[in-house]
Structure 1
Amino acid sequence: MRKKTSGRRPVKSVITVRPAPLDRRRALVTFDGRTEQAAIGRSGITSRKREGDGATPRATMKLIGGYVRRDRILLPPTPLPTRTTRKGMLWCDAPGHALYNRPAKAPFAPSHEDMMRTDGLYDICLVMDWNLTSRRRYAGSAIFFHLIRPGYEPTEGCVAISLAAMRRLAPYLRHGAIVKVL
């Protein structure tokens, strides 16, 4: 949440993601004084993110927007711009394609993520500015902040939290909020 300081300058929200003790595939997400459990990449956190490595990038990333399956989820009001997820919405993860790490529309033959998943992981899917503004081929794509699998199973490199935690986080989200993976 943007807070006003005595000088009336807004302060951006910061969401901190720290590795959890004893399991490099888990993390603790802290925002507005509360801490939630999270799943991260199956390979833990890395400073050298590569396409397909299964690691979560150690980085400071801005939230730029999100997708919500409004046919399945009611998200509390949030200042973060969100789009309704619809059939045919994809995200290209093919490093050689011009749409690498960008939204795409079906039909689309190159490698991609389906944004309207049946397993519910992307029922709320927030897009972080990883390799978007200055794209580099093979530097990793589709690094999202989304919902967890049962048992907090690891992700392919994203940060994932429970639906209840996402609902608590939603009011603090806005374009430009910072996700800091340490």
Structure 2
Amino acid sequence: MKSPGFADLVVDRRGVARFRGRRLTCSVGRGGIKPAAQKREGDGATPAGIWRLEAVRRRPDRPGPKPLKGWLPILPWMRWSDDPRDPAYNDLRRENRFSAERMRRGDRMYDLVGVLDHNRDPVEPGAGSAVFLHLHRRPRRPTAGCLAFKRADLEWILRRWSPRGRIVIRE
């Protein structure tokens, strides 16, 4: 494994993130950080490992940063499947036949979302879904398994993100 570099977002189990010389506070899963091989749907854990940022999505109907090239909209129909029985598990879908998390939430948490490539290629049903970078409810409040930041910090990270960057989550 290549050591973390300047372009990497590195997060430790205490919720301390480092990126491009800055130290930031973030929230991790209520189940703590555990090895990705032990991650299971609904366990509330953040998967340790090295991940890529697959996509950045934002709500175009809400105030926020001007989208940069490559940022994708979060549309009203979008749901993220969290049901291991669903053929579209751990991906966007339209139908409600299976359990899925709404991407257009009433609160602000998913106004800006970075999608991590955890359990994406190939997808293993039940090994965890919807691992995102998103906005926090309040500082250090645990998530369902994502990494959550205050708005100014997440915007700062995503505006400086490079394709060679990785998300390094340490146990």
Q: 1:177–1:76: structure 2 CA closer, same or farther, 3 Å change rule?
A: farther
Structure 1 residue identity aligned to 2:146: C
Q: Give the unaligned 5+ runs of structure 2.
A: none
How far apart are 1:73 and its partner, in Å? 3.1
Q: Which residue of 2 is the match for residue 114 of structure 1? A: 102
Determine the C-alpha separation between the residues in 1 that align with 2:84 and 2:6: 32
Question: Which residue number corresponds to residue 83 of structure 1?
Answer: 72
CA distance in structure 1 between the partners assigned to 2:139 and 2:166 by the alignment = 26
In 2 relative to 1, CA 129–55 (structure 1 residues): closer, same or farther, beyond 3 Å? same
Q: 1:134 and 2:122 equivalent? A: yes
Counterpart AA for 2:166: I
Aligned match of 1:74: 64
Structure 1 position 151, deviation (Å): 4.0
CA distance 1:136–1:163, shift in 2 (3 Å): same
1:172 is aligned to 2:160: yes
66-75 vs 55-64, which moves further = 66-75
**Percent of pairs with identical residues:** 32
User: Aligned AA for 1:113?
Assistant: E
* Residue number in structure 2 paired with 1:57: 47
1:19 aligns with 13
SS of equivalent to 2:157: helix
**Unpaired segments of 5 or more residues in structure 1?**
1-10, 21-26
Task: Report which of the two has the higher share of strand.
Answer: 1
Q: Is the 8 A contact 2:55 2:115 kept in 1?
A: yes
- Structure 1-normalised TM-score? 0.84
Residues of 2 paired with 1:153 and 1:135: CA distance? Answer: 28
Q: How many residues align?
A: 164
CA gap of 1:134–1:104, structure 2 versus 1, over 3 A, is same
RMSD: 1.7
- State the AA in 2 paired with 1:52: G
Partner residue, 1:160: 148
